[in-house]
Structure 1
Amino acid sequence: MNLSFRQLQTFVQVMRTGSVSEAGRALGRTQPAVSAMIAGLEREVGFQLFERERGRLVPKPEAHYFLEEAEFLLERLTRSTRTLQDIGNLEKGKLRIACNPAASSFFMPRVLANFLRDKPDIEASLMMRSSPVVTDWIASQQYDIGFAETPEPRRTIISEVFALPGVCAVPKDDPLARKKVITPADLDGKPMAMLFDDHSISEQTRKAFNEAGARLNKRFELRTFLPALQLVSEGLCYTICEGLSAISHQESFGDQNSLVFRPFKPECFLNMSLLTPANRPLSLLVESFAEVLRAEIKALVERAAGLRDLP
């Protein structure tokens, strides 16, 4: 059986109006076209739904039984059509986003809020985990899109890399805040807050100190830069962080911010990536969000680079 939407629509209209001509007017079709549609429907179901009496269609009991089912099917089809239109217009759907701690405090919520402002029926899941966990979630297709530190190449992930410059965080009232550039010699023997030893910024910092013959005094070891920046605010140490954490700190504290960020020489960078699953196509909604997120990340990189030129 191969029933069409038009056949069901015509049948329901004939039953509601009680007339082929009235049904034709309601549907914008000719009377012969309506009669042909009903005949085609009867061929599909395999039995007559109407008696023909002097050019009129008189519903048989089977037609009355079928009416409720036909109306239900039409309603479901209409709802499905609206849903597909909403999906195509990015008005329905779900976004599953994963990001690392540095992006979760300010950057990603702001991007998501701006994207969803005119999309009240879109559901969103925004989860914060360490970069390796975010990578695993994207690789296993548990999440649609991720933003995290760049992982090793994997066949299950598409990774678009962005290099975020490193800066040195200094208390505003510290003598080093007057310097335009901070070097390992400036930080020789001074207390530092650093991430774990195999983090990219930590490795680049150790290399810079070693090559400059400066003493690296690691007083605090942390998992993320945001608490390190709070320790710097308290005047307990200095830290060399990537621009995302620096901007997130500025946005979070606003006028209450007690830090300045200065270029660190030699330059260091943290590679972060926009991550998507490689083994399945993205939905229209995810593609649209990815485009917005990509533009925001590029703007973030430019802004982070600007931190290196602050007075």
Structure 2
Amino acid sequence: MNVRQIEAFQAVMASGSVTRAGERLSISQPAVSQLIAQFERSCGFRLFNRQGSKITPTREAEALYNEVQRMFIGVGQIARVATALRDQNWGSVSLGAFPAIARRVLPDIVWGFCEAHPDTRFRLESMRSRSLIDAVAAQHVDFGLSILPGDRPEVVSAHLHRLRGVCILPAGHHLADRQTIHAHDLANEDFVSLGPQDHSRFMIDRVFDELKVTRRSRIEAGQSETAFSFVAAKAGVAVVDPISAFNNDDTRIVVRRFEPTVEFDIWLIRPKAARSFNLVDSFVSFTLERLDLFASTLNAA
């Protein structure tokens, strides 16, 4: 019993004729008859009753045909999946990203890719850079977008972009009319700091410490978006990454350039030992193209 015999049987059952089965399989009628005879010998029972040029399937053939149909449906599904994998239209992608990137940038990118690849599935996790690097190293995600490079031997890091930090102030603040806020301008201002677990906190503090500018830091916010809420409530001003401030539509807050420059990097983190997967590679390329456009918009602001 082989696949060609099963194909001949399926074609005869589906078409009701040896001649039409041969046409479907692009082989001669005698070749079909020979394959059916071989298949009957393999099965050990008659599959068709023959009356002249007409054939009628036996009850055993009808029972067997149901199983053959299920097999062909499975083979068809395998072929469809193989085609979708070839065309990068099927499969799943998991990624982790720094919270601001995960919330403000990636949803549009992921959905844009989904629209062009409708059978793909995504899992997006928002996580701090340290947890993200660990997740990539353990291959819990396919790749990550971080503000820190990976420092583990299991990952490789590629620098993508460098962005300028911004100052956010309550609307109506006495500095709000300025287009650029200098660190000296914030002397003795109520200041909303990021939490100590946020790497950005240390970069921002270093700027003020080097300039010997004293702020009134009474509030710490675990994330940039929480800092936005405090600033909107007029609890103080803050310096944050530009991604969090992108397309700010809260009229209670104004966003201004900040000097001296506080730089925020974006890194692509991938597992060093991961096997190549066309869908993931395609999505990474798509993401990098969109990030190029996004970074150009931010740096031009």
Measured against the shorter chain, the TM-score band is: 0.7 to 0.9
> Which runs of no fewer than 5 residues in structure 2 stay unpaired?
none
Residue in 1 that maps onto 2:208? 209
| Inter-CA distance 40–177: structure 2 relative to 1 (3 Å threshold) | farther
Structure 1 unmatched runs, 5+: none
Contact 1:177 1:260 in 2 (8 A): yes
Q: Which aligned pairs between 1:172-191 and structure 2 lie closer than 5 A?
A: 172-191=171-190
Matching of residues 250-289 of structure 1 within 5 Å:
250=248, 253=249, 256-289=250-283
1:130 is aligned to 128
Q: Secondary structure at the match of 2:182?
A: coil
Give 1:176 deviation, angstroms: 1.8
CA RMSD of superposed structures (Å): 3.1
Q: Which deviations, in whole Å up to 9, do the C-alpha atoms of 1:268-310 show, x marking residues without a partner?
A: 1122223333222343322222122112222222222133xxx
TM superposition score normalised by structure 2: 0.83
Measured against aligned partners, the alpha-carbon deviations of 1:2-56 in whole angstroms (never above 9, x if no partner) come to x33x44222211344454323112333223443465577679x586867998999
Q: Counterparts of 1:35 and 1:163 in 2: how far apart (Å)?
A: 71
Question: Contact 1:233–1:258 at 8 Å: present in 2 too?
Answer: yes
- Check conservation: 1:168, 1:262, Cα contact below 8 A: yes
Correspondent of 2:299 among 294, 305, 310: 305
Q: Which residue of 1 aligns with 2:96?
A: 98
| Cα shift readout 1:227-246 (whole Å, capped 9, x = no counterpart) | 11222222221111111111
Task: Find 2:152's aligned residue among 139, 151, 154.
Answer: 154
Say which is worse superposed, 57-66 or 140-149, in terms of deviation: 57-66
* Same amino acid, percent of matched pairs: 24
Summarize deviations over 1:39-91 as a string: whole Å, max 9, x none: 77679x58686799899999788766643332222121012111222333343
**Aligned equivalents of 1:213 and 1:78: distance in 2?**
71
Range with bigger deviation, 33-42 or 52-61: 52-61
Amino acid at match of 1:188: A
Q: CA deviation at 1:226?
A: 1.0
What residue number does 2:18 align with? 20
CA separation of 1:183 and 1:9: change in aligned 2, threshold 3 A? same
Match of 1:192 in 2: 191
Q: Aligned in 2, Cα 1:42/1:284: closer, same or farther, shift over 3 Å?
A: farther
2:9 aligns with: 11
Structure-2 residue corresponding to 1:234: 233
Letter in 2 for 1:191: D
- Rounded to whole Å, the distance in 1 between the matches of 2:116 and 2:205 is 47
SS at match of 1:192: strand
Aligned to 2:69: 71
In structure 1, what is the Cα distance between the partners aligned to 2:38 and 2:133? Answer: 55
1:18/1:229 CA distance change after superposition, 3 Å: closer
The farther-off stretch of 219-228 and 151-160 is 151-160
> 1: distance between equivalents of 2:131 and 2:94?
14
Quote the Cα distance in structure 2 between the aligned partners of 1:7 and 1:106. Answer: 57
Residue number in structure 1 paired with 2:287: 293
Q: Which amino acid aligns with 2:102?
A: S
Asked if structure 1 preserves the Cα contact closer than 8 Å seen for 2:180 and 2:257, the reply is yes
Question: Map of 1:51-70 to 2, 5 A cutoff?
Answer: 66-70=64-68
Contact persistence 1:244–1:300 (CA under 8 A): no
SS of the residue 1:176 aligns to? coil
The 8 Å contact of residues 274 and 294 in structure 1, kept in 2 or not, is answered as no
Kindly tell me the number of residue pairs found equivalent between the two proteins. Answer: 299
Cross-structure match for 2:166: 167
Preserved contact between residue 150 and residue 156 of structure 2 (Cα < 8 Å): no
Give the secondary structure class of the aligned counterpart of 1:146.
strand
Cα distance in 1 between the residues matched to 2:54 and 2:47? 9
> Structure 2: how far apart are the matches of 1:164 and 1:42?
73
Corresponding letter in the other structure for 1:259: I
